[in-house]
Structure formats: structure tokens, C-alpha cells
């Protein structure tokens, strides 16, 4: 089976968490909207969201076609892939634990998006710049330490390795790598201070980055660079220390 990932072709966004898992799992997949001529991408996504012929239409990208299954929601896709490709624990309790951590990552990612779009996704950043400054300041002061402190604490409880659980990487580790990479891109000044207090998260970031398949992916054209259309955006005025 060849997986089909459907996600916006020009950003990392939430799709990137799925791409990282597909790459680490070393499975065959097509990033459907990025195939072929540019510009055609979004047109390949929309029919799934609206067509009457789709039995279980997803609410929004990313979604994954896996044979006859069409799976929506990032954490749901990762749970599916993780169980099938060795990126989740074998026991039910461990799987619930990793799913819960992934949902906490999802909460953090939603808050990152709010830093540049606190009023409405339908408005331009320029129309909510002042509010974004207030939102981002609180996010960096209160929320980033809370989230990263939580994960740092979990890592400190694992004597067996640099990952969240035991010695094996899970999809939640890949997602945490992406969060650290994204926050460092979006808020370089604030993160330069913050990471000093989160050495285990930095170590996890490095450990994921050095994994052969991830390293090959990051060096390939398949990895879309961070940019100001995605979730992690670098607006210097939001990066106050």
C-alpha cells in the first residue's frame, strides 16, 4: 500500500508532523498536493472535503488515505501510523500515554497559531498585529515555559534514553522535535534564553535530527522550509525577550 498524504503544498503546518512520521517509518507515500505542476495542489484536496461521494469526509487537511481508510486529524493519523510502523509502544497503556502527549503538542501548536492570529484566521496578520504582540508576549512568558517545562520534566524521568519513553523513538518525539525547531525559527531571541533551561528537550531535538531517515529528509527538497504562511512564523516584533 502506498499512503497518500493530503496537505497544503507550500507550508509545513500540521502536515509536517505526519510527514516526519512517514519518513521515519520508511514507508511509501505520496504527498499528493505537491506532486506535479505547482498550483494544482489545493485542487486535489478540496474534493475530499466537499464531495457527496466521500463516505467519511475529513474536516480539514491534513488527512491520510490508507487503502480504503480516509483518516483526518493529525493526532489521529499519527496514532494510526505509529501503531503500524513501530513508532508507538506495544502496550495499550503506553499508546494512550503517547496519544495524550501528542494531544498536548496539538494544544501547544494551536496556541502558536494564535500568537499571530489571535482574533481570526480569516483576517490577515496585519489586521491583528497589535493583538498578536500582546498574545505572543503572554505566550512566551507563561505558556512556553509551562509546556516545555512539562516535557522537560517527563524527559528527566526517563533514565533509559533521550526520548520520552524508554529507548525507542515514538511519533510524539518526532513531533516534539518539530515543535522545538518551529519555536526556534519563530522566536529565536526568546528561545535562545528558554532552551538553556530545557537541555533535555534540546538533546531530544538533536537525537531526532540525527536519525538517518530524518536527517536525509531534512536535507531533501521534500522538507519545505519554514515560512510566514505556516504555523511557526518569524515576525521579529513578536519575538520579545
Contact footprint for a second copy (CB under 8 A): 55-59, 68-69, 71-73, 75-76, 79-80, 93, 96-97, 99-100, 103-104, 106-107, 110, 114, 118-120, 122-123, 131, 134-135, 138-139, 142, 147, 150, 153-154, 157
The answer to whether the beta carbons of residues 4 and 70 sit under 8 Å apart is: no
Shortest spacing between CB 150 and a second copy, in angstroms: 5
Q: Which is nearer to a second copy, 211 or 233 (CB)?
A: 233
Please, what is the minimum distance in Å from the beta carbon of residue 212 to a second copy?
A: 30
Measured at the CA of 17, the angle between CA 142 and CA 5, to 5 degrees, comes to: 145
- Rounded CA-CA distance 205/181 in Å is 8
Residues in the chain: 241
User: What SS3 state is found at 110?
Assistant: helix
Pick 79 or 214: Cβ nearer a second copy: 79
Nearest distance, CB of residue 37 and a second copy, angstroms: 29
Which cell is 52 given? 457527496
The DSSP output letter for 163 is S
The residue (of 56 and 240) whose beta carbon lies closer to a second copy is: 56
**Minimum CB distance to a second copy smaller for 11 or for 135:** 135
| Alpha carbon of residue 21 to chain centroid | 10
Can you read off the three cell numbers belonging to residue 35?
506532486
Least separation in angstroms between residue 167's CB and a second copy is 17
Amino acid at each position: 500500500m502506498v499512503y497518500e498524504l493530503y496537505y497544503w503544498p507550500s507550508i509545513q503546518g500540521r502536515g509536517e508532523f505526519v510527514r516526519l512520521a512517514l519518513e521515519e517509518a520508511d514507508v511509501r507515500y505520496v504527498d499528493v498536493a505537491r506532486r506535479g505542476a505547482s498550483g494544482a495542489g489545493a485542487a486535489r484536496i478540496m474534493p475530499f472535503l466537499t464531495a457527496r461521494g466521500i463516505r467519511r469526509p475529513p474536516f480539514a487537511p491534513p488527512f491520510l488515505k490508507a487503502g480504503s481508510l480516509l483518516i483526518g486529524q493529525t493526532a489521529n493519523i499519527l496514532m494510526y501510523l505509529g501503531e503500524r510502523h513501530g513508532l508507538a509502544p506495544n502496550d495499550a497503556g503506553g499508546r494512550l500515554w503517547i496519544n495524550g502527549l501528542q494531544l498536548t503538542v496539538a494544544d501547544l501548536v494551536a496556541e502558536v497559531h494564535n500568537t499571530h492570529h489571535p482574533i481570526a484566521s480569516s483576517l490577515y496578520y496585519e489586521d491583528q498585529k497589535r493583538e498578536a504582540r500582546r498574545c505572543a508576549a503572554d505566550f512566551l512568558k507563561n505558556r512556553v515555559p509551562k509546556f516545555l517545562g512539562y516535557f522537560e520534566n517527563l524527559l528527566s524521568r526517563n533514565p533509559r534514553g533521550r526520548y520520552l519513553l524508554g529507548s525507542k523513538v515514538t511519533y510524539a518525539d518526532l513531533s516534539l522535535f518539530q515543535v522545538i525547531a518551529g519555536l526556534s525559527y519563530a522566536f529565536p531571541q526568546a528561545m535562545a534564553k528558554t532552551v538553556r533551561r530545557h537541555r533535555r528537550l534540546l538533546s531530544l531535538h538533536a537525537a531526532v535530527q540525527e536519525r538517518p531517515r530524518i536527517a536525509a529528509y531534512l536535507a531533501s527538497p521534500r522538507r519545505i522550509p519554514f515560512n510566514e504562511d505556516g504555523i511557526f512564523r518569524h515576525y521579529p516584533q513578536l519575538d520579545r525577550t
